[in-house]
Amino acid sequence: MEKLVRDALQLFGIALSARQVAQLAVYERELLAWNQKFNLTAIRDVEGVRAKHFLDSMSCALAWREQPPRRLVDVGTGAGFPGIVLKIVYPALKLTLVESVGKKANFCGHIVQTLGLEGVEVLTARAEDVGHQPAHREKYDWAVARAVANLPVLAEYLLPLVKVGGGMLAQKGESGPAEAQSAERALQLLGGRLRQLVPVELPGVAEERYLVIIDKPAATPPAYPRKAGLPAKKPLL
């Protein structure tokens, strides 16, 4: 864990306390144990978990620097990335995790309980449905997702959840810049505007990574998101 602590500080300016390191150690242990039974993630080794899950999640800090969100929604969180890691880093964060696959949502609930995390809600639901619920629509400072869908589709999942003046953060691989271009019309329709692409370097990871940062200057029209399944079938291109 010493290397993780060093890397978090050097790469993202995150100084982890002993308590946070202990929480990440429990998270790692539980993830590896559950993974043997439930296939939550393709990454099955300790080094991979620390670089490609923990540090990758922490890279979101580059989007907001000294102003972390007070209320964050993580859509398609899977086994809790990046949301639960960000909750460990920012204990005051109010977090909602959205995951449609039951076994993954159950694991997230288990981790939240095991670590005694407060102010976390786990929704076993589809983003298209959550986007129309008054308790969640345009209620979040930031909405984040990692490798869930192409950017035009992802924007339709995330932007309806973000309050005007808030932001959307997509964690992307090498396709990030091309996806940002192809999402121009979708962003316009949904009230968003591309702010910037931030390259991310992770130790021992050769693939290119980007944070695609999108501002939300205008409200999302009530028709979006469309019915479950439709954004992926007919992206706003």
Predicted confidence at residue 72, as pLDDT, reads: 98
- DSSP element (H, E) containing 56: helix 56-58
**For the segment 64-106, what is each residue's pLDDT rounded down to a tens digit?**
988 999 999 999 999 999 999 999 999 999 999 999 999 999 9
Q: Identify the segments of the chain with pLDDT beneath 70.
A: none
Predicted confidence at residue 65, as pLDDT, reads: 80
Name the strands in the sheet holding 94-98, side by side, starting at the edge strand that comes first in the sequence: 120-123, 94-98, 71-75, 140-146, 162-172, 209-215, 193-200
Residues 6 or more apart whose Cβ sits within 8 Å of residue 192:
155, 159, 168, 186, 214, 215, 216, 217
Count: domains in the chain: 1
Predicted confidence at residue 142, as pLDDT, reads: 98
Q: Is 132 helix (H, G, I), strand (E, B) or coil?
A: coil
Q: What are the structure tokens assigned to 126, written together?
A: 């589809």
Q: Is 224 helix (H, G, I), strand (E, B) or coil?
A: coil
Task: Determine phi and psi for 226, rounding to 5 degrees.
Answer: -75, 175
Predicted confidence at residue 43, as pLDDT, reads: 80
Predicted confidence at residue 28, as pLDDT, reads: 95
The residue range of the domain holding 150 is 2-233
Predicted confidence at residue 40, as pLDDT, reads: 81
- This model's pTM is above 0.85: yes
Cα separation, 7 vs 176, whole angstroms: 24
CATH number of the structural domain spanning residue 77: 3.40.50.150
Residues 6 or more apart whose Cβ sits within 8 Å of residue 66:
none
